[in-house]
Amino acid sequence: MSNCYHPDTPSEVRDAKGLHLITTSTPNGKKVQIMLEELRVAYGTEFTHTLISIPTNEQKKDWFLKLNPNGRIPVLMDNIKSPPFPVMETSAIMLYLLKDYDSKDTFGFKDDLERSQCLQWLFFWHGSGQPIEGQLNWFGKLAPEKDEFAINRFKKETLRVFGVLEIHLSGKFTGEPRDYLAGNGKGKYSVADMGTWPWVSGYDFSGQISEAEMKDFPHLLKWIDRIAERPGVQKGISKSYQNW
Ligand X SMILES: N[C@@H](CCC(=O)N[C@@H](CS)C(=O)NCC(=O)O)C(=O)O
**Could you say whether residue 179 binds ligand X (CB under 6 A)?**
no
**Could you say whether residue 73 binds ligand X (CB under 6 A)?**
yes
**Could you say whether residue 89 binds ligand X (CB under 6 A)?**
yes
Residue 68 or 79: the one with the smaller Cβ distance to ligand X is: 68
Give bridge partners of residue 20 from the DSSP assignment: 48, 77
Single residue of 4, 41, 54, 224 touching ligand X by CB under 6 A:
54
Site size with ligand X, rule: CB under 6 A: 10
Phi, psi angles (nearest 5°) of residue 178: -120, 155
180 C-beta neighbours (distance < 10 Å), count: 19
- Selected range binding ligand X among 68-76, 95-103, 219-227, 232-240, rule: CB under 6 A: 68-76
Identify the DSSP state of 60: G
216 vs 166: CA distance, rounded Å: 9
The CB-of-175 to ligand X minimum distance in angstroms stands at: 34
The CB-of-161 to ligand X minimum distance in angstroms stands at: 16
Identify the DSSP state of 51: E
Q: Quick check: bond before 131 cis, omega within 30?
A: no
Binding mask 9-48 for ligand X (x = CB under 6 A): -----------------xxx--------------------
Residue 244: Cβ-neighbour burial (10 angstroms; 0-12, 13-18, 19+): exposed
Single residue of 90, 135, 196, 206 touching ligand X by CB under 6 A:
90
**Could you say whether residue 59 binds ligand X (CB under 6 A)?**
yes
222 with 170: CB under 8 angstroms?
A: no
Residue 73 or 227: the one with the smaller Cβ distance to ligand X is: 73
CA proximity to 237, closest of 197, 187, 179: 197
Which positions touch ligand X (CB under 6 A)? Answer: 26-28, 54, 59, 71-73, 89-90
